[in-house]
Structures are given as C-alpha cells and as structure tokens.
Chains A and B, each alone.
Chain A
Amino acid sequence: MLTQATEPLSTFFEYITYEHMIDNVVLIVTGTLHERDVQELLEKCHPLGMFDSIASLAVAQNMRELYRLVLVDTPLAPYFSECITTEAYLEDVYRFCQKLGGATSEIMSDILVFEADRRAANITINSIGTELTRDDRKKLYSNFGLLYLPYGHEELAVCEDIDQVRGAMEKYPAYQSIFSWLSYGETQLLDKAFYEEEVKRLCLAFEQQFHYGVFFAYMRLREQEIRNLMWISECVAQNQKSRVQDSVVFIF
C-alpha cells in the first residue's frame, strides 16, 4: 500500500511504521547491551519497523555513536535527544495530522490525544515505587493531550499510588467512564479498560469517509486482534481458561 500511495498518504503510512521502528531500535540496542546474538534479535523485530541499516545498531558503543552511525540517516533522527522518545514521535504525528486538516485531523487527534494521556497514566503507574523523580516523570509526558493543560500532568507527576492516578484522571469527563466500573486499587483491569476505550475510538474512525484515519485504525485494530489471540493462547497454555475474559477486548 505504501508503494502505491501518493503524498500525503505515503507520509501518513510512513508515520505508522515509525512506532515499530522505535520499538525495533530499542529491542536491538537492549539486546546488544545484554550480549545477545544480533540475528536472534533481528528475528524478533517487527516487520513494519525494519529498515536497511538496522543491523548496524549492534555496532554502536554508546548513544552518540548510535545516532551518528545509524539513526541520523533514518526518519527517527528527529526523535532522538538523549534517547529515543516515543513522546517526540507522538507529538510529530499529532502536528502532521493537524496540518492535514479535515476529517483526518479530527479523527486522528481524538485517537492520538487518548494515546498521549494513556501513556502518561501508564508512565505514572509504572514509575510508582521507583526512584524516578517527579520532574523526570513529568519530562516523559507528551506535550499534548487532555491532561496536558492545565493541571493534569502536574497532578499525575505527584501521584504516589493508583488511587491518586484515578483521582487525577476522573476529573476529565472523557475518562470517567474508564474508571467508573473499576474498584479502588484495581490495576489488572485498568489495561483492559484503556484498550476498550482505544478500540471504541478506533471503530469510530470507520463511521466517517474520505480520511486517512481508517488506515491507522485498521492497523491498530489488527494489533488488538493479535493481542487477543496471544492472551487466549496464554490462558489455554496455562490452563486458566476462566481468566480469558480478563483481557480480551471485543472489536465492533
């Protein structure tokens, strides 16, 4: 599809692959630091995120070399400061979609805003109990989203437990429904709630016509299907079939 597309759709498709490229770069670099075989790591990479010089990542000895030898010639260069940040990528996609305007901008903004807010919540929850300071935590949040202004990120940055995260997010009507059926202190079903909300927004992309958001929604919904299948397989393999409903998200 990418080779058949013209601008700006081709750029839109490329943006979809950048996220997987970032994941692949992180996988290769982390695996190399742990003295894993490069071929083994390349086999684990996502096919959408492959690029020509990806194998050269294993040669770099530090981040500066990583940028100079490999990343500078890839589309990921703008997202590289002290490290590769997915937040920089999300902001770039957001700006690009805003420029496209029309239904694409409307649909994609809704999806990307939720993605940014979800990432902020997950960063907060995952950093609870670690040595990450409040300032460092705030730096990891994207510079857009419902929580960005005025005080959402400020409140999230100081959260010490899941209930405080809940309190910070419930103030926004869009996220009240996510937490309404979760009990206090519950983390297990929060992921499922986020995925369900994401699927709801992705499915809405198919309600409108003549916009690029359907391509993005299609890819993301396929990924959700794969996640569902993997979860069901794990439950079957572990003889925990009763727990399948814990994380399966129904689509459409």
Chain B
Amino acid sequence: MGVSDSGVESADENVLDFLDSMDRYLVLVDSLSSILRQGWFDLASARHSMGSSRVSSALFDLKIHNASTTLQVQQADPGKVSPRFELCKWVSSENLHKSSEGKKFKKNELLQQEDSLQSDHKEPKDNISEDDGSVINDNNQAQKERLKSLSMFGALVAPKLRSSQLSFEKALETLVEIANTRASLLQAYDQVQENMKKTG
C-alpha cells in the first residue's frame, strides 16, 4: 500500500517538468508578443522614413523562388520523444543543393537575447558551430541573404526596416521555440496524467 519513495520522487519530478515547461511556454508567448509589436512598429517607422511608395505591399516579389527559411519536423517516436521542430534560416538558393540540411537553429537563450532587441544595430547569434571560422562565414551568409530579401524595397533601406526584419526573424525563431516547448509541455502533462492514474 502506498507509493514507494522513488515513485513519489518520479511523480514530483514530472510535475516539476510540467510546471517548468508551462513557465517557459508562457514566457515565450509573452516574448513573442513584444517582439512582434516592436517589429510592426519598426516597419511603420521605416515606412514613415522612406515613404509609403517605397515600403508597400505592391513591391512584394511574386516571382516563384525558393524559400530562404524552412522548417523541419522530426516526427516523434511513439510514446517516447516529443516531435522536434528545427528552423533552417537564410539558406541561399545558390547553396540549396550544397547543404541540404541548411543551417540549424538550435535552442538558444531567448530571454538573454530579448535585451539585444532593444538596440537597433545588434544582430542575433545565428548559428552555433563547432568551427569558429564557419560561424563568421555563416553570419556573413545570413547577412547577405537578409540584404537580398530587403532589396525588393530598394538598394538602400532605412535602418528601421532592417531592425524590423530582425524582429520578425526573431519572432519566427520564438514561434519554433514555442512549438518545441509546447511539445515538451504536452509530453510532461501526459506523464503527470499517467502518474495520477497509477497512484489512483
């Protein structure tokens, strides 16, 4: 009768995992809201600065082209690991065939990077790589792709438009992080439910 100590500890651990995941999820949702808010405001500032004829939906490129950023989903093992979402950012169409996996976005410290969004000229850490030299190349590549995507608004764009782009890029990363956290949250919830059934 009763649950063994190890069982209780395991149940407590599951509950703590669930609460941690929930906390992370709520923080990320709040972070996403403020990032998007900043992005839209910067876009409005850019339109004010450059003129509404230069920043307009009429300039969007409707030609068919490869997506510069893709999302990969690793399906979950049945009953085991939750599905995993990974963002491949700024994969140049020229390099599409060379690196089929593109550049992986790993889980980063979004709370720490939130402060960096307050500054106009800071850029997020794009990639974590074992080789320092390739990190610099990756950053240069990402920067080139960013400028290329902004070129639809003209050759020289206002700094506000670039920070708007960075904000929306960060929002995309946050969304992927939210998806991963939600998957962990649901898994933790299932674990807690399972424990509750076992203990009656």
Contacts and interface: CB of A to CB of B under 8 A. Distances in A.
Contacts of B155: 130, 132
B120 interface: yes
B147 A247 contact: no
Contacts of A231: 44, 48
A19 to B, nearest CB: 11
Contacts of B61: 34-35
Interface in B121-169: 121, 143, 147, 152, 154-160, 162
Given A126-B159, A188-B160, A191-B48, A31 B58 contact: yes
A158 interface: no
Interface stretch (B23-31, B49-57, B94-102): B49-57
B45 A188 contact: yes
Which of A30, A40, A125, A227 lies at the interface centre, i.e. has the most chain B CB atoms within 10 A of its CB? A30
B59 interface: yes
B37 interface: yes
Contact of A126 (B41, B63, B157): B157
B156 A132 contact: yes
Contact of B56 (A44, A125, A128, A185): A44
Contacts of A30: 59, 152, 154
Contacts of A227: 48
B156 A187 contact: no
B40 A40 contact: no
B156 A41 contact: no
Contacts of B59: 27, 30-31, 34, 36
Contact of B58 (A27, A188, A246, A247): A27
B53 A44 contact: yes
Contacts of A127: 156
A238 B40 contact: yes
B52 to A, nearest CB: 7
A49 B63 CA distance: 27
A200 interface: no
Nearest to A128: B159
A207 B115 CA distance: 48
Given A27-B53, A34-B62, A36-B58, A238 B120 contact: no
A186 to B, nearest CB: 9
Report, as a range, how many residues of chain A touch the other chain.
35 or more
A235 B43 CA distance: 11
A5 to B, nearest CB: 26
A26 B156 CA distance: 14
A35 B62 contact: yes
A159 interface: no
A243 interface: yes
Contact of B156 (A36, A126, A188): A126
Contact of A35 (B40, B63, B147, B156): B63
A240 interface: yes
A135 B48 CA distance: 29
A14 interface: no
Interface string A203-239: 0000000000000000000000001001100110010
Contacts of A240: 37, 41
B37 A230 contact: no
Contacts of A126: 156-159
Nearest to B49: A191
A127 B154 CA distance: 11
Contacts of B159: 125-126, 128, 187
Given A27-B58, A44-B56, A188-B120, A34 B41 contact: no
Interface in A33-69: 34-36, 40-41, 44, 46
B47 to A, nearest CB: 8
A93 interface: no
Nearest to B44: A234
11 contacts: A26-B154, A31-B59, A40-B58, A41-B58, A44-B56, A128-B159, A129-B143, A132-B155, A188-B160, A231-B48, A247-B45
Which 3 pairs, one residue from A and one from B, show the smallest C-beta to C-beta distance? Answer: A126-B156, A234-B44, A34-B61
